[in-house]
Structure 1
Amino acid sequence: MTGDRTFLGHPRGLVYLAFTEMWERFSYYGMVALLVLYMVQELLLPGHVENVWGMAGLRGGLEGVFGPLSNQALASQLFGLYGGLVYLTPILGGWLADRFFGTRPMVVTGILLMTAGHFAMTFEETFLIALALLIFGSGALKGNIAAQVGQLYPRDDEARRSRGYTIFSLFINIGAFGGPLASGALAQAYGWHVGFAFVGVLMLIAIAVYMAGRSHLPDGRPAPRGHGKRAPLTAAERRTLILMLPVLVAATLGHIVYFQSVNVAFVWIAEHVDLATPLGTIPIPWFGSVDPMAGILFMPLLIAWWGALARRDREPGDLGKIGIGMMLMASGMTLFAAGAFLAGETGKASIAWPLLGYICTGIGFLWYWPVTLAFVSRRAPQAITALAIGFTYVTLFIAGLSAGFLGSFYEQVTPDAFFLGMAAIPAAGAALLFLIRHPLTRALDRNLAAPAPIPPAKSVTA
């Protein structure tokens, strides 16, 4: 599998995994770009919210914890719960893959569940059921398809693995770019539910691509278990898992900004940005395409730059790349804050400010997230790779909940103060990584080189 280099110098399986993820992300981001606006502008309004099965009980539970919630605050909390839980369930998906089913069956299961969830979004009554299907479908899919990317490469091939994940991220960005454009245009022309149905159709394309390439994909079967038990992790492997935690903390801080860009940022744009252009009024979901578009345009330059630096033995390590990504995410939120400050509380900001902000966050995401996945794929103990990737997505779970909670305070402060507070969060992650990256890398390398314990002697047969 690792010698099958027929796609940009990488194993052929990468193209099938990348295209599968592209269509899945097309559908996911197409739905997410509509979600908060749909809730604020229609679903949570009288005459609609009463139709949603279970919404009254859920709202009561949230208000019992957080106090009375406006429609915007409730939408932010629901968005945070959904955005967080989507990235908690990959732990379950990774555990099921590693222990019982393997990665391939779990990816297929995830695609089918997500397809059902997107179609369920077309009815007000099944809104919460749809979110549940999408949450568990993503859990089965996300960590396992990312683990399959890592399984295409030799364990010690850090540079090529990192670039492979960056190519994989390019296709994620292509899907994330197209999804909001298409679903936003359809929702504006024909209604919210047509936009939701459209992204469900795209999931059918995702499963067709994945099944077409299955002969080029890693087997992904669970590791053999003697007498029903897997060998315990070594001391070095356990230390490695602990040493990886600061990197995951930093990634969590970057993700909070990532979630806020399609949560509160959309609300601010709707209220305080002049959307009129010579070509007409820009649909707000289209701003969700600016971030991935920046990643698409910048990725070839980034790959070429890393390659040139590698030839001079100056390519940044994983931790350096992640730290740079954090700073770019902070810069994006600072640009939002600048636009909000210049507009004031009653004026309209130029469309240039959110555009520049999304460009920064798009490039920043490309710097830190695929590199984080490559880092975990390489450093995690081989027997629990899919599970470790699943735990990596917990950073998005924590960030989603945090973004939803923090977003509920948006109406209590000025927009510029809110966005400056958001900028400080990934800046703290960058400071953490730049402070510890050299000693942490040395400690991880020592653990990776540690010899495995010698098993007890057994009788040998020919």
Structure 2
Amino acid sequence: MSAIDKEKIVSSVPQKGFFGHPRGLFTLFFTEFWERFSYYGMRAILVFYMYYEVSKGGLGLDEQTALSIMSIYGSLVYMSGVIGGWLADRVFGTSKSVFYGGVLIMLGHIALALPGGLTAFFVSMVLIVIGTGLLKPNVSSMVGDMYAEQDDRRDAGFSIFYMGINLGGFLSPLIVGSVMGYSFHLGFGFAAIGMFFGLIMFLITKKKNLGLAGTYVANPLSPAEKKKVYLVMAGAVVLLGIILAVTIPTGLLTIKLFIALVGILGFLIPTIYFIVMYRSPKTTEVERSRVLAYIPLFLASVMFWSIQEQGSTILANFADKRTQLDIAGIHLSPAWFQSLNPLFIILLAPIFAWLWVRLGKRQPSIPQKFSLGLLFAGLSFLLILLPAYLGGTNSLVHPIWLVLSYLVVVIGELCLSPVGLSATTKLAPAAFSAQTMSLWFLSNAAAQGLNAQIVKFYRPETEMLYFGIIGLSAILLGIILFFVTPLIQRQMKGVR
């Protein structure tokens, strides 16, 4: 897409109307709010649904298996963004991709809301994985479409957008977690309703608020290419179905093998993407340099999300098994703790948005913000090992330790995640705009694929070692990134 096309899209969007930002930010803010309400509500109770006994309304899976599946689920959700980004860039455009994805997500939550056991669980996984891949990277790309390349409001706009994500993430675990003890399926039903509201919001307001944003196809396929792609996709689905039909009954494909394969793909796919984008004739010399600069940021993001995403696995288990849940006559649901991360983001995101605008050209560079994110992520894990050090691994700990750990990692998240979204839209080659946003989310997929392997090492007796090694590794990587910032900055070719 040419610079002229970008200017045309920006000019088509009303540039004032939502806290001093483009009016379309209102539409995307609330679309993502309801999508995240549905996703985080489902995620807040999913791991408990998997390992709770059947008599308690769960599936009765082994606890360690449930933790690994939870990580792989998250990995596949973000990995599917590659497909969603490609379809947006080549076939649908981002606006249609967002709508189609929302429909699939809603159907996935409906499948979970029905008492269908493991069959319904796996069906819902497929629908939500594909749907999120279509929606999540593309709604973020649409936010970037509304701002001119040198618009100083861009980082602040992504921070506001990020606050909407976390407002939905804050409310849903409280609501869904409150009904968890009564019925898991009722909780999943609330998630389906949330996605329905998001779809309605998007359809009603997009024409007036978004202008041309999301309506173009950045690198469209020709009719002949489309036909070929559809045939290949149909053949791949049939082949996959045959493979699963043969390998699952015969025991050739086990859960452990599947987890390992997803973990490998989590790193293999982004590697291929970096190579393809760098070598593409559609990528200019300046864009190639920016692709190289993006690689260390991607790796730093993997390390950060490896820690942050354990809030729905290891820390969820910690809340369920190792935390005092009866405080001052109030019984706490273990799912409620997953509202802490978005709560702190809601409280702190406006401060960070104001800070970046206030500092203007004096704010830390993108790599420096990433290094700060890693530092705080590492500290959050060092903090959570203190209860075991002070009181041992056999006693229940006060909830304040979880609260403080979530607070510290959120400070790191606000240094890295909204900034990473904004940096991706700045560094992306024009021909790979939506796909580069998918690549950003692949860092989360790689992190959770890695987590599926390392969560197996978490035990009460290894608790201090587990948190200590991971926390110190993040801090060390953050220090290294800080010292190589000048080199990365030169490769970014003017992007700050």
Show the counterpart of 1:41.
52
CA shift, 1:130, in A, is 0.6
AA at the equivalent of 2:96:
P
AA at the equivalent of 1:152:
M
Show the counterpart of 1:192.
184
CA shift, 1:101, in A, is 1.0
Show the counterpart of 1:60.
none
Name which of 279, 285, 301 aligns with 1:251.
Answer: 301
AA at the equivalent of 2:149:
R
- Is the counterpart of residue 275 in structure 1 residue 286 in structure 2? no
Show the counterpart of 2:257.
none
1:179 is paired with a residue whose SS is helix
Question: Matched residues in 1 for 2:219 and 2:56: separation?
Answer: 56
Closer/same/farther in 2, CA of residues 410 and 195 from structure 1, 3 Å limit? same
How does 1:421-460 map onto structure 2 within 5 Å? 421-445=469-493
Closer/same/farther in 2, CA of residues 307 and 46 from structure 1, 3 Å limit? closer
1:339–1:354 contact (8 Å) kept in structure 2? no
Q: Which runs of 5+ in 1 are unaligned?
A: 51-69, 450-462
2:17 is paired with a residue whose SS is strand
1:220 is paired with a residue whose SS is coil
Closer/same/farther in 2, CA of residues 47 and 291 from structure 1, 3 Å limit? closer
- Is the counterpart of residue 298 in structure 1 residue 352 in structure 2? no
How does 1:45-84 map onto structure 2 within 5 Å? 49=59, 71-84=62-75
Show the counterpart of 1:156.
150
- Is the counterpart of residue 362 in structure 1 residue 410 in structure 2? yes
Show the counterpart of 2:237.
none
- Is the counterpart of residue 30 in structure 1 residue 24 in structure 2? no
AA at the equivalent of 1:178:
L
AA at the equivalent of 2:50:
M
CA shift, 1:340, in A, is 2.6
RMSD: 2.2
CA shift, 1:305, in A, is 2.3
Show the counterpart of 1:169.
162
Question: Matched residues in 2 for 1:275 and 1:102: separation?
Answer: 47
Question: Matched residues in 2 for 1:11 and 1:383: separation?
Answer: 24
Say which is worse superposed, 259-268 or 234-243, in terms of deviation.
234-243
Question: Matched residues in 2 for 1:289 and 1:49: separation?
Answer: 24
Show the counterpart of 2:132.
138
1:269 is paired with a residue whose SS is helix
Show the counterpart of 1:417.
465
AA at the equivalent of 2:386:
A
Question: Matched residues in 2 for 1:419 and 1:165: separation?
Answer: 31
How does 1:13-412 map onto structure 2 within 5 Å? 13-42=24-53, 49=59, 71-122=62-113, 123=115, 124=117, 125-157=119-151, 159-188=152-181, 190-215=182-207, 216-217=209-210, 218-223=213-218, 232-310=282-360, 313-411=361-459
String of CA shifts for 1:156-202, please: whole Å, max 9, x gaps. Answer: 22x321111111111111111111111100212x2111111111110
- The normalised TM-score by structure 1 is 0.87
String of CA shifts for 1:263-298, please: whole Å, max 9, x gaps. Answer: 011112222211211141110000000111111111
String of CA shifts for 1:342-375, please: whole Å, max 9, x gaps. Answer: 2312112111101111111222212211100100
1:120–1:129 contact (8 Å) kept in structure 2? yes
Question: Matched residues in 1 for 2:76 and 2:37: separation?
Answer: 19
Closer/same/farther in 2, CA of residues 184 and 227 from structure 1, 3 Å limit? closer
AA at the equivalent of 1:328:
F
1:333–1:357 contact (8 Å) kept in structure 2? yes
Closer/same/farther in 2, CA of residues 47 and 260 from structure 1, 3 Å limit? closer
1:331–1:423 contact (8 Å) kept in structure 2? yes
Question: Matched residues in 2 for 1:6 and 1:231: separation?
Answer: 40
2:82–2:439 contact (8 Å) kept in structure 1? yes
Question: Matched residues in 2 for 1:332 and 1:178: separation?
Answer: 23
The alignment covers a number of residue pairs equal to 424
Question: Matched residues in 2 for 1:394 and 1:198: separation?
Answer: 28
Question: Matched residues in 2 for 1:47 and 1:270: separation?
Answer: 16
Question: Matched residues in 1 for 2:413 and 2:339: separation?
Answer: 13
AA at the equivalent of 2:326:
A
String of CA shifts for 1:221-262, please: whole Å, max 9, x gaps. Answer: 113669789962223322321221100100110000111111
Say which is worse superposed, 263-272 or 221-230, in terms of deviation.
221-230
1:414 is paired with a residue whose SS is helix
1:139 is paired with a residue whose SS is helix
Show the counterpart of 1:54.
none
